[in-house]
């Protein structure tokens, strides 16, 4: 028969004194208190593993771990044993899992997700996505294990973005975070994805068009360009003038290398892979874009060549000529001119579209093709390129002359 053990009392545990040699006070069920020669009191449990070998578990020291606490731990261990689980191995597995969970921080998983997406994103998308995370999210929850992040912590991070008035950015960042949480779950790293169901937490983002001046506001804008009270550098002023004259997208303009432009022939052809639709990962548009230069635009390019012709880029970065002008340079210039939230780089395209149709009487299809907008019908798209080129050249010269006429009338 198994030896009957009288359970310990709190008084016995409390009053146990050290002796010349360590000794044990048994509570039954394998649980005992080991009293060391220095007076330490350590809870232990003796049990047999599945292979029959004897093993021991440590439950901590008294009084941090009380007699009641030790008995609870014993019960939990005996339950594991009855289920065929070695409690010692179970503890090791849980410790490993906890260490892995602590190592799987939001920032670590977000950077992994970002790296995996690089092959399917445009360079600007990859750059902007990571920048928003680095600015707004990593400082707030980046160091937290991803499985530990709560709704309240996620909300607090997003509301800091809202607090500066960036409501649309807050919504975009929320969507990005939700995708990071989903990525972690797909990797077997469990989390609650607190960003996934926040439909009513953030303030609604007002959808709208890019800020753009109207045709009636164009004279004042041209006057501001002439006076140059903002003291813009010459290349920056030329960049804004060219955006007005040829209305390329900002990135398509500032990232232009000189070898795309033939100043002698007055031709500028942007290769398809630099165009917005050419950068699509699925069914990219592989047609090059003819800019159609007016006489005034060509004069500006020749003037610019005397300033930056020694660089690979038409608009080199002031700090590093091996790189193009920063995308934010145009917005900063417009801000210094007094047009913050009134005009954007994309706004020049909207201005041209509306004004050329309304004031110069050109058909929508012709202006649309000059804007390099995609045609849904590929047959129509091919026809447009073949039939509209000469009409577009005439239109662009008329547009430049119209702008000059406004400038002279001021």
pLDDT over 70 percentage in the chain: 90
The pLDDT of residue 2 is: 59
Q: How distant is the alpha carbon of residue 148 from its chain centre?
A: 21
Tell me the CA distances in angstroms from 246 to 59, 193, 267, one per residue in order: 76, 46, 13
Residue 201 in this model has a pLDDT that exceeds 70: yes
Least reliable range by pLDDT among 88-102, 148-162, 341-355 = 88-102
**Do 43 and 33 form a contact (C-beta atoms < 8 A)?**
yes
Residues 73 and 151 in one domain: no
Give the model confidence (pLDDT) of 114-140 as tens digits.
999 988 887 878 888 999 999 999 999
Residue 207 in this model has a pLDDT that exceeds 50: no
74 part of a folded domain: yes
Give the model confidence (pLDDT) of 6-59 as tens digits.
899 999 999 999 999 999 999 998 999 999 999 999 999 999 887 778 889 999
- Number of domains composing the chain: 3
**Do 306 and 325 form a contact (C-beta atoms < 8 A)?**
no
Considering the candidates 94, 122, 373, 378, report the single residue annotated as catalytic: 373
Does 383 participate in catalysis according to the annotation? Answer: yes
Helical packing angle, 295-308 and 378-409, nearest 10°? 80
Residues 313 and 382 in one domain: yes
Does 362 participate in catalysis according to the annotation? Answer: no
Residues 320 and 252 in one domain: yes
Considering the candidates 91, 167, 192, 276, report the single residue annotated as catalytic: 276
Residues 286 and 402 in one domain: yes
Does 23 participate in catalysis according to the annotation? Answer: no
**CATH at 154:** 1.10.150.130
Residues 149 and 113 in one domain: yes
Q: Which domain holds residue 229?
A: 215-409
Residues 304 and 394 in one domain: yes
Residues 166 and 232 in one domain: no
pLDDT band for position 410 (cuts 50, 70, 90): low
The pLDDT of residue 304 is: 94
Considering the candidates 49, 273, 383, 407, report the single residue annotated as catalytic: 383
193 part of a folded domain: no
Residues 243 and 384 in one domain: yes
Considering the candidates 44, 91, 151, 346, report the single residue annotated as catalytic: 346
Give the model confidence (pLDDT) of 340-397 as tens digits.
888 888 889 889 899 999 889 998 888 888 887 655 444 444 444 445 888 989 999 9
Residue 150 in this model has a pLDDT that exceeds 90: yes
Residue 208 in this model has a pLDDT that exceeds 60: no
**CATH at 228:** 1.10.443.10
Give the model confidence (pLDDT) of 270-298 as tens digits.
887 888 766 666 667 677 888 889 999 99
**CATH at 75:** 3.30.160.390
Considering the candidates 114, 249, 274, 290, report the single residue annotated as catalytic: 249
Considering the candidates 349, 362, 369, 392, report the single residue annotated as catalytic: 349
Does 346 participate in catalysis according to the annotation? Answer: yes
305 part of a folded domain: yes
Residue 345 and residue 341: Cα distance in Å, rounded?
Answer: 11
Does 276 participate in catalysis according to the annotation? Answer: yes
Tell me the CA distances in angstroms from 325 to 229, 236, 283, 312, 321, one per residue in order: 21, 9, 29, 12, 9
Residues 403 and 277 in one domain: yes
The pLDDT of residue 379 is: 47
Residues 331 and 231 in one domain: yes
Residues 249 and 361 in one domain: yes
For residue 182, which of 116, 237, 127 has the smallest C-alpha distance?
Answer: 116
């Amino acid at each position: 028969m198994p030896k009957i053990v009288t359970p310990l009392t709190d008084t016995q545990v409390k009053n146990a004194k050290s002796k010349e040699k360590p000794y044990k006070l048994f509570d039954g069920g394998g649980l005992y208190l080991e009293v060391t020669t220095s007076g330490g009191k350590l809870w232990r449990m003796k049990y047999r593993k599945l292979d029959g070998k004897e093993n021991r578990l440590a439950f901590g020291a008294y009084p941090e771990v009380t007699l009641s606490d030790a008995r609870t731990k014993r019960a939990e261990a005996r339950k594991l044993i009855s289920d065929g689980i070695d409690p010692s191995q179970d503890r090791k597995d849980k410790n490993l899992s906890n260490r892995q969970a602590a190592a799987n921080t939001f920032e670590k998983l977000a950077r992994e997700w970002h790296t995996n997406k690089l092959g399917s994103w445009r360079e600007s998308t990859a750059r902007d996505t990571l920048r928003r995370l680095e600015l707004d999210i990593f400082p707030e929850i980046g160091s937290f294990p991803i499985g530990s992040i709560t709704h309240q912590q996620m909300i607090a991070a997003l509301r800091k973005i809202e607090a500066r008035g960036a409501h649309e950015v807050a919504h975009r960042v929320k969507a990005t975070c939700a995708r990071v949480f989903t990525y972690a779950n797909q990797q077997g790293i469990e989390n609650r994805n607190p960003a996934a169901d926040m439909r009513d937490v953030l303030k609604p983002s007002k959808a709208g068009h890019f800020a753009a001046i109207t045709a009636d506001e164009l004279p004042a804008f041209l006057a501001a360009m002439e006076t140059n009270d903002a003291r813009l550098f010459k290349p920056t002023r030329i960049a804004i003038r060219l955006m007005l004259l040829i209305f390329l997208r900002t990135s398509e303009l500032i990232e232009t290398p000189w070898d795309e432009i033939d100043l002698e022939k007055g031709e500028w052809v942007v290769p398809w892979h630099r165009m917005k639709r050419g950068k699509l990962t699925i069914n990219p548009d592989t047609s090059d874009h003819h800019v159609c230069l007016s006489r005034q635009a060509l004069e500006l390019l020749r003037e610019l060549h005397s300033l930056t012709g020694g660089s690979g880029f038409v608009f080199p970065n002031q700090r590093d000529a091996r790189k193009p002008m920063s995308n934010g340079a145009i917005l900063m210039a417009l801000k210094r001119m007094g047009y913050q939230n009134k005009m954007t780089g994309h706004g020049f395209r909207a201005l041209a579209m509306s004004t050329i149709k309304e004031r110069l009487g050109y058909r929508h299809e012709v202006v649309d093709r000059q804007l390099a907008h995609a045609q849904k019908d590929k047959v129509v798209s091919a026809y447009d390129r073949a039939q509209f080129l000469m009409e577009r050249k005439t239109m662009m010269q008329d547009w430049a002359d119209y702008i000059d006429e406004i400038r002279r009338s001021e």
